[in-house]
């Protein structure tokens, strides 16, 4: 695909890249200085180019999703370590959380069936693209015959997208901040399943944006009251005055996929 319309009289960048491959091989043409700036990986990864890389990482998924006509998403956050049925849990506590995999899968399937009514433009499932609850979300969407988004990130340990993300909507990020923006930019609902540091980070980021009015309120659903009330003493935060009592109404607990769908359906439509 060419990066500029041909309504102008100038050569476009794709043509220049092709022309650069046909030039004579000389010390001058082999020198890094001669490379076209936008094809020079060594140049683009310099510290001084960080603002450009941030912009590119914001733009690429945005443009792809715009081209696919995706207008709203349903965000699934949850632990990468929660096992799928038949998998051995890495920790005894994870075995107790395993049912959340199936609940996330069922919820994603139900919401994707809704999404198909809008030809895949609304209520598109978006996950972090990895294993565990993320895989369950993408899997449920695939089983419904719809598309889903995976927002992967490069980590020190090996990570690859799960097999159920729609390939054309499988993105990879270097910057956590830009990835978080893409989770929330189209969010019609946010669903948090049990998880660890990453899940907590994502949930508290979203809660903070809503609490401070930087993001409009959307259904904010936490699956599994028992887990969340053992992990976070929300009432203690309110009792200490570090959050307002009304902040406890920014989220609600649900236990089943059907309960979550009903909560989303009951949410007041924007004026």
Q: Is residue 114 part of a domain?
A: yes
Q: Is residue 22 part of a domain?
A: no
Confidence at residue 269, expressed as pLDDT on a 0 to 100 scale: 84
CATH number for 123: 3.40.50.450
Kindly report the pTM of this predicted structure. Answer: 0.92
Q: Is residue 47 part of a domain?
A: no
Q: Is residue 36 part of a domain?
A: no
Q: Is residue 35 part of a domain?
A: no
Write the pLDDT tens digit of every residue in 202-247: 999 999 999 999 999 999 999 999 999 999 999 999 999 999 999 9
13: its two tokens:
């960048």
Q: Is residue 215 part of a domain?
A: yes
Q: Is 1's pLDDT higher than 50? A: no
2: its two tokens:
């060419």
Write the pLDDT tens digit of every residue in 19-55: 778 889 999 898 999 898 998 999 999 999 999 999 9
Q: Give residue 141's region: left, alpha or beta (phi > 0; psi -120 to 50).
A: alpha
Question: What residue numbers bound the domain in which 257 lies?
Answer: 57-266
Number of domains within the chain: 1
Confidence at residue 271, expressed as pLDDT on a 0 to 100 scale: 66
Q: Is residue 52 part of a domain?
A: no
Q: Is residue 31 part of a domain?
A: no
């Amino acid at each position: 695909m060419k990066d500029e319309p041909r309504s102008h009289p100038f050569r476009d960048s794709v043509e220049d890249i092709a022309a650069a491959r046909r030039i004579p091989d000389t010390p001058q043409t082999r020198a890094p200085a001669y490379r076209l700036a936008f094809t020079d990986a060594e140049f683009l990864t310099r510290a001084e180019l960080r603002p450009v890389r941030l912009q590119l990482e914001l733009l690429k998924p945005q443009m792809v999703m715009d081209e696919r006509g995706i207008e709203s998403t349903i965000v699934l956050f949850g632990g990468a370590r929660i096992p799928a049925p038949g998998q051995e849990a890495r920790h005894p506590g994870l075995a107790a959380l395993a049912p959340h995999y199936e609940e996330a899968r069922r919820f994603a399937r139900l919401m994707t069936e809704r999404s198909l009514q809008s030809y895949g433009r609304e209520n598109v499932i978006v996950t972090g693209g990895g294993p565990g609850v993320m895989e369950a979300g993408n899997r449920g969407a695939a089983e419904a015959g719809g598309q889903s988004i995976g927002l992967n990130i490069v980590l020190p340990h090996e990570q690859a997208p799960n097999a159920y993300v729609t390939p054309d909507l499988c993105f990879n990020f270097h910057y956590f901040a830009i990835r978080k923006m893409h989770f929330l930019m189209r969010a019609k609902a946010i669903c948090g399943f049990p998880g660890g540091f990453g899940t907590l980070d994502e949930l508290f980021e979203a809660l903070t944006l809503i609490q401070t009015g930087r993001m409009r309120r959307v259904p904010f659903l936490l699956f599994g009251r028992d887990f969340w009330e053992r992990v976070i003493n929300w009432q203690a935060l309110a009792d200490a005055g570090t959050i307002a009592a009304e902040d406890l109404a920014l989220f609600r607990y649900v236990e089943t996929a059907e309960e979550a769908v009903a909560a989303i359906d009951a949410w007041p439509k924007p004026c």
